[in-house]
Chains A and B, each alone.
Chain A
Amino acid sequence: MATDFQRYDDVAIGDIMPPDPIRFEAKAEVVDAFLKATGNDDPRYRDGDAVRRVPSMLASFYLIDLLNARRSPPGGIHAKQAVRFHRSIAIGETLHLQACIVEKYTRKERPYVVAEFEARADDGALVASGRITSIWGKDA
Chain B
Amino acid sequence: MSADFVPRTPGDLPAQFAIGAELPVLRRLVTQPMIDAYGHASGDLNPIHMDPDYSRTGPFGRTIAHGLMTLAFVAQMLNEWTDGHFDESGEIDIAFVGPVYTGDELTITGVVETVDFSDDGAVARVKLICKAGDRSILAGAAIQPISPIRKA
Contacts and interface: CB of A to CB of B under 8 A. Distances in A.
Interface string B68-102: 11011111100110001011111111111000000
Nearest to A34: B41
Nearest to B36: A37
Interface in A18-49: 30, 33-34, 36-40, 42, 44
A33 B41 contact: yes
A84 B78 CA distance: 13
B121 to A, nearest CB: 16
A44 B83 CA distance: 9
Nearest to A64: B44
Nearest to A81: B94
A40 B92 CA distance: 19
B43 A85 contact: no
Contacts of B74: 57
B68 A63 contact: yes
Interface residues of A, number: 35
9 contacts: A37-B41, A55-B76, A57-B76, A60-B68, A60-B71, A80-B94, A82-B93, A86-B89, A88-B87
Contacts of A88: 87-88
Interface string B99-115: 00000000000000000
A88 B88 CA distance: 5
B118 interface: no
Interface residues of B, number: 36
B21 interface: no
Given A78-B67, A78-B96, A81-B71, A38 B76 contact: yes
Residue among B72, B75, B94 facing the most chain A CB atoms (10 A cut-off) = B72
A71 interface: no
Contacts of A86: 89
B69 A60 contact: yes
Contacts of B87: 53-56, 85, 88
A55 B79 contact: yes
A60 to B, nearest CB: 4
The 4 closest A-B pairs by CB, nearest first: A57-B75, A60-B68, A33-B41, A56-B87
Contacts of B94: 80-82
A61 interface: yes
